[in-house]
Structure 1
C-alpha cells in the first residue's frame, strides 16, 4: 500500500512527513541525524510520560494566565493525558542520545502533542496556526527547563521501582537468614579461617547491606524534588510572565502528586548537574555491594568437590560445552556483569556532567540515558537474583561443621585462658602435625575432656545473635 505524506516546513526547508505520523519536521530531522543506539525514546515510557506531565502543567499555567483559550487548553490537556496513559509512545522516535541538549526530545513531544490536539479538535495535522508546537505547546518553556525537570520526575519514579526490587532481594536474604540460623560454619578474613559464625548471620549481613542502600535511595528522591521549571533558557525566566514560575510549580505538584519545589537559584539549577552525579554514585554503591555478595555466593558454592562447597546454588543450566556435569553460578555471574555496566555508566555520567560549559550542560541526554538504563537493568537483575538464586540456596551443614572442627583458628577462644603465646604454639603444632587442636590439648592435658568440650563448642564462639 502506497504511503501518503504531508509537507511541513521549518527555517531549513521542507520535508515530507508520513500523513498518519503525529510527529513533525523537527522530530524527523532529529531521527535522521541521530541513529546512535538503534533505539528510540519509546524505550523509556516513564520518561515520555514525565515529559507529558510537564507539558500538562505548563498548559494549565498558560491557561490560568490567559495565554491559551479554553479550546486550546482542553485539547492539549487531553493529548497529554493520553500520552500519560501510555498512548502514542511509538511516535517518540528520536534516539535518546542526541546533540542539542535534549531539544530533539522536547520538540518530539511538542509536535506529537500539537498534532494529537489538532486531531481532537477535528483539524488536520500540521494545521499549526491553530495549535503550534512552539507557540502553544512550548509556551513559556525552553528545553533547558523542561528536559531536566522531566529527567528528575522520571528518576523519582524509577527509584521507587528500584527500591521495590531491593526490598524483594532483602526479604529473600532475610528468609535464608532465618532458615540457616542454626547452621554453624567458619567465618573467614583474607580468605583464611577466622572464627565460627552461623550461615544465618552471613545471610543476615547481606539483608542489612541491601536495606542500607534502600535508605540511601530515599535520600536521592528528596534531592530530585528540586526542579528548574520556569527557568526557560538559562534561568532568567525569559518569555514568561511574572506569576508563571510559581504557578507552574504548583501545577506540576498537582499533576504528578509529588511535592516538587522550585530551585532557589534558577540560573544555578539550569547548569548544575550535581544531583545526577550524586544519584549515579549511589547506584554505583548499590551495584558494588550486590556484586560483592555475588562474589561471595560463587565462592561459598565453589567446587563442588574441590572448593568450599558450603552452600548449593540452584542448578539453572548445563555449564560447559566440553565438561559433562559441570554447572556454573550463572545468576550471580550475570548480576556481576550488570554491576560492571553500572560502574562504567557512573564514569560516563561523571565525565558528561563535568563537560558542561557556562549556563548549560549539553550532555544531559547521555546522562539521562545512562541513569535510566542503569536503574532498569539493576531492577531486573535483582529480581532475577532473588527468584533464580537466593530462594533456592541450600546449606551443606556437614561440610560447614567439618570445616570448623578442622580449623586451627578455633584456638582463638582459648586466648583469654592460655594466653596468646601458648595458643599460638598450639596452632603451630596443629599445622605442623596435621592434628586437630582438640586432640593436642588433650595430649598435653591442658584441660579435661569435659572442660575442653565446653570451651571449644562452636556455639560458644558465636554471639547470641544467630541471624
Structure 2
C-alpha cells in the first residue's frame, strides 16, 4: 500500500530576509522571520517550542501591545502602525498564530530569540492587517516598530513574570479544588475511629476524618503561601531597556507602558524603583520556585500516606480503598495500583529537580544581566503547570472515590498496644509499661489485661477508652474538656 501526503504549495515557496549574517530563505507562509529561523537552526535542544508555554506567548504580546500604546501616545509611533500592532497582539492573546512561536525553550541570549520571534510574528501579522505582504518590513518593522523603546532584557523578564502570575492563578484554583475534596472526605469520615501512627508505629487513636481534614488544612496553607509569593512577580523592569538605565526610551515611557500593561493584563503591576537592580535580580523567581517546591513536597507526602493507608488489600494497612482507575498488572490478574498518587509524586520529584535548575540558573547571572532566564522561565512554568494538572487529577480521579474500611480500622484500635497511652495518666507510666509488655507477649488486648489487673474499674476503663475521650483533651478523671 502506498501512502501519500498532501503538500501545501506554500511549503516550497520562500521569501528572502536579511540580517547581519546575510540572507535566509523563509517559508512564505511563515509569520516568523530571519532572526527566528537563525535561532531554530542554532538551538535544536529540547524539541519544545516556546508555544508550549501559552502563558508566555500571551504575556510577550501583551508587552508588545503595551509598548505600542505608550509609544503611540508619546508621538513616537504612527497611530496606524500602532493600531495594527495592537490588533495583531490581541489576536495572538486570543490564541491565534501560536504555532509560529517556534524557537526552542532552551536558548542562549537571555531570551533574545523569544523576543525576536515575538517581534517578527507580530510585525508580519500587522503587515497583513495593513494590506502588505509578510516580510515587507518597510511598513512595519519587527525592531524599529514592534520593539520600539524595548530591549529583550526588560521585555522578556516582564513577560515571564506575567506568565508566572497567570500560571500561579491556575495552581491556586487547582489546590483549592483539592482542599475542598479532602474537606468533604473529612466530613464523611468524621466518625470513623482508627489508630494514628508515628514513625510507622501505633501511636494513639484518631478519626479518619481528622486525618483527611489535616490534608485540607495543609493544602490551604500552601495556597496562602503561593498567593503571597505571587506578589513578588508584580514588580517589573519594563522601561529599563538594556541594563536598566532606560537608554533609547522616552523619559515618560516606563510610566506609560506600565499603565498600559496593567490595563491589558488586569494585574496590579508596578515599575521597580531601581531598574538597574531589577534587570539583573531574579530573586523573585527563586522564591516563587521554592514555594512551589514546598507545595509539591507536601502533596507528595500526602500521596505517600494515601498509598500506605490503602496498601493491601489483604496484606497491608488497608484502612482506605482508592478508586480503581485502571488494571494494575500485565501478569497479576486483579491487581490494582495507586497510580494517581504515584503520578502526583513523580511530578513533585520533577518540581524539586526544576527548583535546583532554577537555583543554579539564578546563581549563574553575571554583572548587569542574567543570561539564563530562558531556563528559569521554562522550568518554573513547567513546574507550575505540571503540578496544577497533577493536583486536578488527584482531586477528580482519586480523592472523591476514596472509601473507608471502618470495621478493619476499629478492630485495629481495639487490638492496639497504643491504647495504653490513654491509661498512663490514670495508672502511672510504670504500670502502663508493664501492661503493654504483657499485651505484646500474650497477644491479648490492653483492655482485657487492665480489667484483670484491677487497676481500674470497668466503668472507669469504659469512660477512659470511649471515643469521646480518646479523640480530644480530657481531665485526669477521664472526662473530656
- TM-score interval (norm. to shorter): over 0.9
Deviation at 1:449, TM superposition (A): 2.0
Question: Which residue matches 1:313?
Answer: 322
CA separation in 1, counterparts of 2:452 and 2:471?
A: 26
Question: Which residue matches 1:454?
Answer: 463
Deviation at 1:464, TM superposition (A): 7.6
Question: Which residue matches 1:359?
Answer: 368
1:84-138 Cα distance to aligned partner (Å, 9 max, x none): 1111111111111111110000000101111111111111222212211111110
Deviation at 1:324, TM superposition (A): 2.0
CA separation in 2, counterparts of 1:143 and 1:464?
A: 61
Question: Which residue matches 2:240?
Answer: 231
Question: Which residue matches 2:342?
Answer: 333
Counting only pairs closer than 5 Å after superposition, residues 142-157 of structure 1 correspond to structure 2 as 142-157=151-166
Question: Which residue matches 2:194?
Answer: 185
Question: Which residue matches 1:288?
Answer: 297
CA separation in 2, counterparts of 1:441 and 1:157?
A: 60
Q: Flag as ranges the 4+ runs of structure 1 deviating above 6 A.
A: none
CA separation in 1, counterparts of 2:469 and 2:103?
A: 64
Counting only pairs closer than 5 Å after superposition, residues 318-397 of structure 1 correspond to structure 2 as 318-397=327-406
User: How big is the alpha-carbon RMSD for the aligned residues of Structure 1 and Structure 2?
Assistant: 1.2
Partner SS state of residue 224, structure 1: helix
Counting only pairs closer than 5 Å after superposition, residues 49-448 of structure 1 correspond to structure 2 as 49-448=58-457
CA separation in 1, counterparts of 2:423 and 2:48?
A: 64
CA separation in 2, counterparts of 1:368 and 1:17?
A: 28
CA separation in 2, counterparts of 1:266 and 1:212?
A: 33
User: Normalization by structure 2: what TM-score?
Assistant: 0.95
CA separation in 2, counterparts of 1:333 and 1:111?
A: 43
Partner SS state of residue 412, structure 2: helix
Deviation at 1:434, TM superposition (A): 1.4
CA separation in 2, counterparts of 1:257 and 1:312?
A: 44
Partner SS state of residue 316, structure 2: coil
List runs of 5+ in structure 1 lacking aligned partners.
none
List runs of 5+ in structure 2 lacking aligned partners.
1-7, 475-481
Query: Do the aligned partners of 2:194 and 2:206 also contact (CA within 8 Å) in 1?
Result: yes
Inter-CA distance 180–369: structure 2 relative to 1 (3 Å threshold): same
Partner SS state of residue 186, structure 1: strand
1:254-288 Cα distance to aligned partner (Å, 9 max, x none): 12111100111111110101000001101110000
Query: Do the aligned partners of 2:100 and 2:121 also contact (CA within 8 Å) in 1?
Result: yes
Partner SS state of residue 129, structure 1: coil
CA separation in 2, counterparts of 1:135 and 1:379?
A: 39
CA separation in 2, counterparts of 1:61 and 1:198?
A: 60
Between stretches 197-206 and 220-229, larger displacement belongs to: 220-229
Deviation at 1:443, TM superposition (A): 1.4
Higher relative contact order (CA 8 A, sep 6+): 1
Deviation at 1:191, TM superposition (A): 0.6
CA separation in 2, counterparts of 1:321 and 1:125?
A: 55
User: Normalization by structure 1: what TM-score?
Assistant: 0.98
